[in-house]
Structure 1
Amino acid sequence: MANSSSGMAVNDDCKLKFMELKAKRSYRFIVFKIEEKIQQVTVEKLGEPNESYEHFTDSLPANECRYAVYDFDFTTEENVQKSKIFFIAWAPDTSRIRSKMLYASSKDRFRRELDGVQVELQATDPSEMSMDIIKSRVF
């Protein structure tokens, strides 16, 4: 399962939890971490369905890279309840260069494993994934 360009495997649990988020809405968000020692993407944190966007952003470390998916609920102008699944590549400026390179080189392959993501964001600081930006990307 390892990718020849980055050598990064994706733990089966990542896809399983993502399918539960997408199909059953079992989670509000999932934070994924690359375990460098074993060269694998793993699930770091699962957000309960009732957790807020603030809970989600608080679970991203201030100076370490992560991947995350967030299930965003919204109401259209026609008053229809909808949701979109966001994929967020979190790479704060303060994280290690090696870590940023590892996450950047593995992102596309990992993102393809998560079938059903509708919006993708790259963020290097919290302002780049503020609720205003999330809302602007759904309409």
Structure 2
Amino acid sequence: MTDNVAILAGFTSEIEACNDIGQCLALLVEPGTDYDATFKAWDMDGQQFIRLNGWLWTVEAVADHRKVELAIQCVPPGGDAPATFLFRRNVGRPVREGELVSPTYSSLADLHPWAVANGWAAVPGSWEYRHIAA
């Protein structure tokens, strides 16, 4: 699964939740989520839905200026027309407009194991990181 599963289900607000022992999670939640109650969220690193007891976590909205989007052109099995895979990630620091962010991932398999397992291949040189404007 990818973050698109959560986005299509309405989990479109990106937050960072940290607890007292220093564990931090990059999450997608539904807009208007009550962080003082138990809530459902999409774990962007674990690629699964989880439930959190909000009172045990400090929640902060992720500012748009820290987000980047990675677009990768991928060819499906059989060599049909390429499709674009999009991944959005929080860089963890402010990003200047137009700044290129060094790749966090070295291969399509790191980002999307399902696609590689099912015969998809990244088009060489097609990785494009871009700043998501506020």
Assess same fold via TM > 0.5: no
TM-score by length of 2: 0.25
Give the number of the structure whose alpha-carbon radius of gyration is greater: 2
Q: Would you tell me which structure has more helix in proportion to its own residues?
A: 1
In proportion to residue count, which structure has more strand?
2
